[in-house]
Amino acid sequence: MSQTDVSTQGQALRQGTLLTLKAGIWVKGQTVLTSERFYRQVKGSPVLYNFFGLLGAMINNLFPAKIDIDIPLTSITEIGRGKMGLKKDVLYIGTSDGKSYQFTPHYDFWIIGLKEALEAQGATLVQSANERWNVQR
């Protein structure tokens, strides 16, 4: 799916930078929550940044943005607080296809936006544990 395909689907409700851990490497990307989906765009490779620092970041900026995570809100089955190592400021998203995603930082900012977007679609959030909600449609 190209960048224009995703960005035209729904009004942007929240935007910001989120990190996730992939194969032991922190991957940083620009994340957007719309009224229809939650997606993240990255530029270049996290390996360049991790090994070459500022030079790697400059090289990454030469690459076009690509979407590495694209979650339709209708596929979300669970949201809440997750944990990555010692980090507790982690947003957890579970989907109907069995995948799970964890993002950091700014848990409070994103969980409020996700709750509002899901409820606007008619979903009901049922608390299943402390800071965990099941999404029912």
Between 4 and 70, where is the model more confident? 70
Q: How far apart are CA 38 and CA 13, in angstroms?
A: 10
- Give alpha helix (H) positions in the chain: 3-7, 46-60, 107-120
Cis peptide before 72 (omega within 30 of 0): no
pLDDT at 10: 74
pLDDT digits (tens, 9 = 90+) for 121-135: 999 999 999 999 999
Contact 84, 97 (CB under 8 A): no
Q: Does the pLDDT at position 7 exceed 90?
A: no
pLDDT digits (tens, 9 = 90+) for 12-63: 999 999 999 887 878 888 999 999 999 999 876 665 555 666 666 666 667 6
pLDDT at 24: 80
Q: Does the pLDDT at position 3 exceed 50?
A: no
Between 85 and 45, where is the model more confident? 85
pLDDT at 2: 43
The average confidence (pLDDT) of the chain is: 85
Contact 38, 71 (CB under 8 A): yes
CATH architecture of 3-136: Roll (2.30)
pLDDT at 51: 60
